[in-house]
A and B are shown apart, each in its own frame.
Chain A
Amino acid sequence: MSDQDTSSRAGVQPVATPASRRRFLKDAAGVAGGAGLLALGAGLYARQASALPATAIRPPGALAEADFLAACVRCGLCVRDCPYDTLKLAELGDGVATGTPYFEARKIPCEMCDDIPCAAACPTGALDRGLTDIGKAKMGLAVLIDQENCLNFLGLRCDVCYRVCPVIDKAITLERIHNPRSDRHAMLLPTVHSEYCTGCGKCEKSCVLPGESAIKVLPIKLAQGSRAEHYLRGWEEKKAAGESLIGEQVELPVRGLEGKAFGDTRIAPGEGPRGAAPTVPDSKPSSKPGGIDSGWKP
């Protein structure tokens, strides 16, 4: 109670009888326990909330998430010095650690300022000033996540994500492959290269799809698998050694494809292991009567 508290604080030392000592210990234990529980609750909440949502991207130069959460004092100076209003401080209920800076690429992406004003403003080192070349920033990694709705994957020439990429032709390239649907067109597939992608999110922002973007910037931890260190990539080993490690290999012909370039397995009419030309299906439907189990096929 407050009054007892008042009197004991006022310097009147009670005579230390066993009973009073016991009561003091009991009170102290209660207070310590209560405070400990409160702090434990805060700590648990902190741990649970430290899982960053996939759409929340940290500013350039941000330390790894665990270190970032030890360093960021949530002052918002990075937010104030961002000229494009990209950054914001998380509010309670945003799902991001309260008060820490982040941006959502689909809303406002990072414009990759040359002088990186947000990192320069950080007083604590949560944003590392060692990052001087914004091209080396690793805010996240773009992933073309929806290949079913991406217009380029449908065979169209949208290319917008590729065109807006500040690191065009390095971070995003267009890879030409055969379009098996039309069988006579190419598809130019936007392809992200993690070595150059800074995670600025301009691709995600400008994706023309209504609503959700087909290409998304994700935290690197989510976007990238870990490299299989035990698997030696033969071509890399060969390049490093200057020659094949197992000597030149005999190129065995593929039966029926003799005379074609090695590895070219495309089959023209009249070619092939059986030598049989693929028959062009008759355009006319069969003259057999229709109905169930008639054997008719288009």
Chain B
Amino acid sequence: MSAQGTVGASGGKLPPTSVRGAARRGVVARPGREAVEAKGWLQAHKWLLLRRLSQFGILALFLAGPWFGIWIVKGNLSSSLTLDTLPLTDPFLIAQQFAAGHWPYREALVGGGIVLAFYLLVGGRLFCSWVCPVNLVTDAAAWLRRRLGLKGGKVPAGSTRSWLLGFVLLAAAATGSLAWEWVNPVSMFHRALIFGFGLAWGIVGGIFLYDLLVAPRGWCGHLCPQGAFYGLLGRVTLLRVSAAHRSACNDCMDCFAVCPEPQVIRPALKGVGQDHPLILDGDCTTCGRCVDVCGKDVFRITTRFNRSES
């Protein structure tokens, strides 16, 4: 069962819709080559570039104050104040506060409400792929892993993060404090970038190495309770990815290779357990990478009510 090495080997001996199948075909190392040939480099990286722009742009807004004295946004992703008027607060933190038995001031509640409404509208885990700084770290690890051809590893079950989310809230209730925030790599990394690192480098480096050497997509895809929290919002969110042109799929497996949550693709692309081509799984981060790497333009970003197929 050695790697066959050809991209178009979609004859159908191997199940075309498993990650392992893709790995055996050898497409994992450089997915999206076909798309670059078909659409041009820029079009084949459109969503990726927009996403990086969003991630770095948000970081730049936060850093403009401490670095250049231009105070557009103060604070960090946990809670911030934009232009001295708009409060924004992470609803995950407010949930922990409630569990710990603290009722915050109105600013935090309003800010949390705004953020909650935003992610309910455009995609729960949009936070993970378009905002969260840890995504840069784990994307880098995933890219390097593909390039180095590292295979296998020990991945915890995908439901671990949901359990962890439950225990995070339990721990907050039991200790009467925001216990997870002592170690939460997501808020810690963002805060460290803005306010100073201390030993937080160790935690970020640990996540990179864990994703690279131990578990592919281990942190964001299996452990992070903050991602699980936003995944809950993602179940009812308006903006979704649709495999609208799935009839054109040539089973090249590039989308599976780049997708940080590959299990969400199959029901939509292959009609397993559902008729419509929408990816409704809350785990989908709406990163749009599948749209980019598909040479046949199978995917598009649309609303959850658009069930049409072209």
Residues of chain A whose beta carbon lies under 8 Å from any beta carbon of chain B? 1-3, 5-7, 9-12, 27-28, 30-32, 34-36, 38-40, 42-43, 45-47, 49-50, 66-67, 69-77, 79-81, 88-94, 97-99, 121-125, 129
**Chain B residue contacts of A69, Cβ below 8 A:** 176-178
Whether A35 lies near B182 (C-beta < 8 A) is: no
Complex CA gap A32/B196 in Å reads 34
Q: How far is the CB of A84 from chain B (nearest CB, A)?
A: 16
Q: How far is the CB of B208 from chain A (nearest CB, A)?
A: 16
Whether B171 lies near A42 (C-beta < 8 A) is: yes
Whether B75 lies near A76 (C-beta < 8 A) is: yes
Partner of B108, one of A46, A67, A73, A98: A73
B46 CB-CB contact with A under 8 Å: no
* 9-residue interface stretch from B37-45, B85-93, B120-128, B130-138: B85-93
**Chain B residue contacts of A76, Cβ below 8 A:** 74-76, 191, 194-195
Q: How far is the CB of A174 from chain B (nearest CB, A)?
A: 40
Residues of chain B whose beta carbon lies under 8 Å from any beta carbon of chain A? 18-20, 65, 71, 74-76, 78-81, 87, 89-90, 93, 97, 100-105, 107-108, 111, 155-161, 163-164, 166-168, 170-172, 174-183, 187-188, 191-192, 194-200, 202-203, 216, 223, 262-263, 266-267, 272-274, 281
**Chain B residue contacts of A10, Cβ below 8 A:** 263, 266-267, 272-273
Whether B156 lies near A31 (C-beta < 8 A) is: yes
Complex CA gap A31/B203 in Å reads 22
Complex CA gap A129/B105 in Å reads 10
Complex CA gap A2/B22 in Å reads 14
Partner of A92, one of B111, B178, B203: B203
Whether A1 lies near B164 (C-beta < 8 A) is: no
With A6-B19, A70-B102, A123-B105 as contacts: A92 and B199 at CB distance below 8 Å: yes
Partner of B179, one of A7, A42, A75, A124: A42
**Chain A residue contacts of B178, Cβ below 8 A:** 69-70, 72-73
**Nearest chain A residue, comparing its CB with the CB of B157:** A31
Whether B183 lies near A42 (C-beta < 8 A) is: yes
With A11-B274, A123-B89, A123-B105 as contacts: A74 and B267 at CB distance below 8 Å: no
Whether A73 lies near B79 (C-beta < 8 A) is: yes
Partner of B176, one of A9, A66, A72: A66
Partner of A45, one of B182, B203, B267: B182
Whether B160 lies near A31 (C-beta < 8 A) is: yes
Q: How far is the CB of B153 from chain A (nearest CB, A)?
A: 9
**Nearest chain B residue, comparing its CB with the CB of A90:** B198
Complex CA gap A100/B108 in Å reads 17
Whether B104 lies near A71 (C-beta < 8 A) is: yes
Whether A125 lies near B104 (C-beta < 8 A) is: yes
Q: How far is the CB of B101 from chain A (nearest CB, A)?
A: 6
Whether A71 lies near B97 (C-beta < 8 A) is: yes
Partner of B97, one of A28, A73, A121: A73
Complex CA gap A73/B105 in Å reads 12
**Nearest chain B residue, comparing its CB with the CB of A4:** B157
Whether B104 lies near A123 (C-beta < 8 A) is: yes
Across the A-B interface, give the 5 residue pairs with the lowest CB-CB distance, nearest first: A91-B198, A11-B273, A39-B167, A75-B79, A35-B163
**Chain A residue contacts of B274, Cβ below 8 A:** 11
With A43-B174, A43-B179 as contacts: A6 and B266 at CB distance below 8 Å: yes
Whether B187 lies near A99 (C-beta < 8 A) is: yes
Whether A92 lies near B188 (C-beta < 8 A) is: yes
4 extra interchain contacts, Cβ-Cβ under 8 A, other than A5-B158, A6-B262?
A: A3-B20, A34-B156, A43-B175, A70-B177
Whether A27 lies near B182 (C-beta < 8 A) is: no
Q: How far is the CB of B69 from chain A (nearest CB, A)?
A: 12
With A32-B163, A73-B79, A73-B108 as contacts: A39 and B182 at CB distance below 8 Å: no
**Chain A residue contacts of B198, Cβ below 8 A:** 90-94, 98
Whether B195 lies near A123 (C-beta < 8 A) is: no
Partner of B157, one of A27, A39, A46: A27
**Chain B residue contacts of A122, Cβ below 8 A:** 105
List 8 A-B pairs, Cβ < 8 Å: A6-B262, A46-B171, A69-B176, A70-B101, A71-B104, A79-B195, A89-B191, A124-B104
Q: Which of B76, B108, B195, B198 lies at the interface centre, i.e. has the most chain A CB atoms within 10 A of its CB? A: B195
**Chain B residue contacts of A9, Cβ below 8 A:** 158, 263, 281
Complex CA gap A89/B66 in Å reads 14
Whether A98 lies near B79 (C-beta < 8 A) is: no
Whether A3 lies near B157 (C-beta < 8 A) is: no
Q: Which of A2, A76, A80 lies at the interface centre, i.e. has the most chain B CB atoms within 10 A of its CB? A: A2
Complex CA gap A58/B306 in Å reads 53
**Chain A residue contacts of B167, Cβ below 8 A:** 35-36, 38-40
Whether B267 lies near A99 (C-beta < 8 A) is: no
